[in-house]
Amino acid sequence: MTAALDHAPEAEAAALEPLPVRIRDAVRTGNLGSWPVLTALLLVVLFFGITAQNFFTPANFTNIITTMAGPTLIAYGVVFVLLIGEIDLSVAFVSGVAGVVVAEAQLPTGAHLPWFVCILLALVATTAIGVAQGSIVALVGVPSFVVTLAGYEIWSGVILRSITQGVIVIQDNKINDFSNYLFGDTAGWIMATIVSVSYVGGMLWSAASGRRHGIRIHDPLLFWLKVCVVPVVSFLTVWILNKDRGVPLALLLMVGALVVWTFVAKRTTFGRHVYAVGGSAEAARRAGINVARVRIMVFAIAGGMAGLGGIVLAARLNSVDLNAGGGTLLIDVIAAAVIGGTSLFGGRGEIRNALIGAALIYTIESGMYIKGWTTGVIFMVTGLILLLAVTFDTVVRRVQVRAGR
């Protein structure tokens, strides 16, 4: 603007409504964030903690974390795909492919490559798969549902063809450490400290830089709540895990990936463009965003994260067999993203939804196994929760549109 400004940049009127009014507004406009799922998680933990023996124990906590690590890593990628309004049905078997690549590459009687080369190979392969599938979606215009459904068939076929002997045992313990390694007590405390300090520091720093530009903290209550909650949760987690055998490397991977991808989604131009493409691809195109490039990169992320998750899953079993990537894995990872609050319609969601959703699914699963319920019941319950989450999302969308006018 060349025109003279007769208004100095003044801070936004900080006339915040009182808390009850804001809660009512949030409910009315469907702007609830992660609260419904977190509440559900709390209720589930309470329910099983009271009714099931051996549920509320440090050992089971470790168990849930190592079980959910692989699926959660895959689900992070699924969140990105859902954010641009697409779907990736191939992630589960792509993760199986990563397991097969790692297992084949480390075979002492075969390639016998060092562990990091095996990991790298698997990640490169799955990312390439993502790029290929994404290119067909973005450049040719085939619906992602069909492309990745084809991928689902193709990669499950590849796994069946590759494991002729039925199972490949991973003998390289460095690879198995991806799921099974446990840090000592001190290392755990150090990690909790690093996470807390960097989170609180980052929050305060960004608040300070906002103040320099005349921007006040939008909601002081929420701000200080966040600043307090993250250190409390991280120290509590480490404390419980140290009561068992220590912090698993799998947890570090989950948290590390969460931080990295949240940063990418929320603080980079690429992330902004991901949300824009999900909101309105046409608007993004007119704004000069290379929509095809964004789509391909998103599918590449989904492929790469499926690969990382697949490595953790293979490491957990110390082997890869014909079931790699099969079973309920696909449903679990997509459900995790959706139950966590990521919209299937694109443009709405957070990376942490995958973590929260996976925590809910695998906590319920663990509780039901401990109570001795059968797999059939577990499937039914998971299905019902998924239905509930998607219905909720649909209603929220309608409410938001109505509240907008």
Partner 1 sequence: MSAAPPPLLELTGVFKSFGSVQALTDVDFEVRAGEVMALVGDNGAGKSTLIKCVAGIHPMDDGEMLFDGRQVTIHSPKEAANLGIEVVYQDLALCDNLDVVQNMYLGREARNWFQVLREPPMEARTRETLASLRVTTIKSIRQTVATLSGGQRQSVAVARAVMWNSRLVILDEPTAALGVAQTEQVLQLVRRLGEQGLGVVIISHNLHDVFETATRITVLRLGRNVGVYEKASTTQQQIVEAITAGEPTKVSGIPSAHGAAQ
Q: Which residues bind partner 1 (CB under 8 A)?
A: 1-3, 5-7, 9-10, 12, 29, 209-210, 212-215, 218, 267-270, 272-273, 275-276, 278-280, 282-284, 286-289, 346-348, 400-401, 403-405
- Written as six digits, the tokens of 121 are 């190979």
Q: Which is nearer to partner 1, 108 or 282 (CB)?
A: 282
Rounded distance between C-alpha atoms, residue 361 and residue 373, angstroms: 15
Q: What number of CA atoms fall less than 13 Å from residue 290's CA on the CB side?
A: 8
Cβ-proximal residues to 268 (8 Å cutoff; 6+ apart), any chain: none
Give the residue from 338, 278, 289, 320 showing the smallest Cα distance to 70.
Answer: 320
Cβ-proximal residues to 28 (8 Å cutoff; 6+ apart), any chain: 399, 403
Contact between residue 53 and residue 369 where contact means Cβ atoms under 8 Å apart: no
Q: Which is nearer to partner 1, 277 or 315 (CB)?
A: 277
Q: Which is nearer to partner 1, 18 or 288 (CB)?
A: 288
b or e along 95-107 (b: 16 or more beta carbons within 10 Å of the residue's beta carbon)? bbbbbbbbbbbbb
β-strand partners of 321:
167
- Nearest distance, CB of residue 204 and partner 1, angstroms: 14
- Using a 10 angstrom Cβ sphere, with 0-12 exposed, 13-18 middle and 19 or more buried, the burial of residue 32 is middle
Q: Residue length, the chain?
A: 405
- Nearest distance, CB of residue 281 and partner 1, angstroms: 9
Question: What DSSP designation does 325 have?
Answer: T
- Nearest distance, CB of residue 70 and partner 1, angstroms: 29
Q: Which is nearer to partner 1, 29 or 193 (CB)?
A: 29
- Nearest distance, CB of residue 12 and partner 1, angstroms: 6
- Nearest distance, CB of residue 202 and partner 1, angstroms: 12
Q: Which is nearer to partner 1, 110 or 201 (CB)?
A: 201
Q: Which is nearer to partner 1, 371 or 397 (CB)?
A: 397
Q: How far is CA 55 from CA 44, 169, 232, 234, 388, in A?
A: 11, 31, 22, 20, 25
- Nearest distance, CB of residue 22 and partner 1, angstroms: 13
- Nearest distance, CB of residue 33 and partner 1, angstroms: 13
Q: Which is nearer to partner 1, 6 or 161 (CB)?
A: 6
- Nearest distance, CB of residue 261 and partner 1, angstroms: 14
Q: Which is nearer to partner 1, 10 or 166 (CB)?
A: 10
Q: What number of CA atoms fall less than 13 Å from residue 32's CA on the CB side?
A: 21
Q: Which is nearer to partner 1, 6 or 108 (CB)?
A: 6
Give the residue from 98, 106, 110 showing the smallest Cα distance to 170.
Answer: 106
Contact between residue 357 and residue 340 where contact means Cβ atoms under 8 Å apart: yes
- Nearest distance, CB of residue 273 and partner 1, angstroms: 8
